[in-house]
Amino acid sequence: MEKFHTIRCCYCIYDPVICLFSILTKHKTCHFVFINFIDMGKSRPDIYILFLDINECEEPETYSCYGTCLNFPGTFQCRCPNGTNGNPFAKGGCMIIRNSNTGLTIGLGVGIGTSILVVALGAPIITRKIKLRKMKKMRQKYFNQNHGLLLKQLISQHADIGERMIVTLRELEKATNNFDRARVIGGGGHGVVFKGILDLHVVAIKKSKIMVQREIDEFINEVAILSQVNHRNVVKLIGCCFETEVPLLVYEFISNGTLYQHLHVEGPESLSWVDRIRIALEVARAISYLHSAASIPIFHRDIKSSNILLDDSLIAKVSDFGASRYVPIDQTELTTAVQGTLGYLDPMYYYTGRLTEKSDVFSFGVLLIELLTRKKPFVYRSVDGDSLVSHFEKLLATSNLAGIIDLQVMEEEDGDVQELATLAATCTKLRGEDRPTMREVEMTLENLFVKKKVVECVTIPGRNEVQTHISTQHVVVSTSRQYTMEAEILLSASYPR
């Protein structure tokens, strides 16, 4: 039997015949059988090897297949599973294939994902940089354009503007918290005024709403004029910004609103009679200065109560010079497009387009009537349909002013209403040559104010001595001293005329 144990595999199948006996033997990888056949002419048994099919895959430990086993007749195959490679006949011999395409796919995925992330994170930064660069170019464009217009106008007037007055847009954005609506303190159809803090000073910043060439021209004109004006009763221009389509103007901050707001308050009482005379005098001083004492005569062209600002001490400040015009020294009038406010507008200027200093005188006369009556010139109509000026003049001519004068004035005045009413009527005469000059108006008001004999309280530091006075309606407080009536007159006389 030993020689049969050395047989390693079976190679043939013999069709069986009648078998007398058989013995099945198993040796490693081969099954064989001893078969005794009865064969013709033979007396002894023959030995034949008969192949018997078995399933090696059912015995992986015996046949050492640790991969995927496939059974075939007489044999089997052992392979590594899909996605692996190596020796399937050894434990752990099949290793996952590191496919180069998989790595490439993963790499591309990671790369694309990273790129998308970078773009997503970087897009706002890139967009902001592009926007900032564009804004910088636009600011430079507007600066060159507006500054050029200003320089052209200043050169034509032999004037100048200091570089210290030029403010950047970034400074104004910081001063107003990026033009926060909560900082708005005034404005109208043409623009808004913001309150801000610039160089530790409270300022008012005028920003236009309407971006048309006329607005640009008016703002440039206002810068050119105010840069040449220095008067205590004219609002002071601190700076200007040319980096926007319409320049931004920076003024001293006047904290107490406009004359219009104080005069037309709800209720029976408004500004005192003494305050009204003093405010009229201060406005007259400012206009007289513009007409005759400035380096180049200036016609304001829009004198009205809403353009008169009042500070905490009710000191008047003339503002809004957008419509103002320089006047060549050798000329007394200009022919321009009509501009101003109905109710205050000189009728001769309205019909002829010829602007003279007497046009401002007419507007000031209307302002005097407004102070006397507390009526609004641009809306008032009498029962007969007359304007405020016409109705006032009719009542003055018939000595019936009591029918239109403010009751508070009637109670407080002491005989000087008639004088002020006469001055107002003279200022509003139809023909310009029949009106006084602003210098004459100023002198008349000063005389009227002196007659009031307003003597202010003066407290001497370190003492408890108080000088009595006739009227305590108003005390003008300066940062360093208090002005008496005499000091006011001397101060006025010190201004160049």
The Cα–Cα gap between 346 and 363 comes to 7
- CA separation (Å) from 34 to 12, 314, 439? 14, 137, 151
**452-484: b (≥16 Cβ within 10 Å) or e:** bebebeeeeeeeeeeeebeeebbebeeeeeebb
DSSP string covering 332-382, please? SEEE----S-TTTS-HHHHHH-EEEHHHHHHHHHHHHHHHHH---TTT---
End-to-end CA distance of the chain: 149
Residue type, 231: H
Annotated ligand binding at 136? The verdict is: no
Give the span between the Cα atoms of 439 and 253, in whole angstroms. 28
CA distance 11 to 139: 99
Mark whether 434 is an active-site residue: no
In contact, 401 and 356? CB cutoff 8 Å: no
The structure tokens listed for 280 are 């009229």
Helix axes 438-451, 357-373, angle to 10 degrees: 30
Of the residues 46, 160, 302, 360, only one is catalytic, namely 302
Cα gap 276→268, rounded to integer Å: 15
Backbone dihedral region for residue 154 (phi beyond 0: left; psi -120 to 50: alpha; all else: beta): alpha
Nearest in space to 413 (alpha carbons), one of 232, 273, 220 = 273
Residues classed as catalytic: 302
State the binding site: 207
State the binding site for ATP: 207
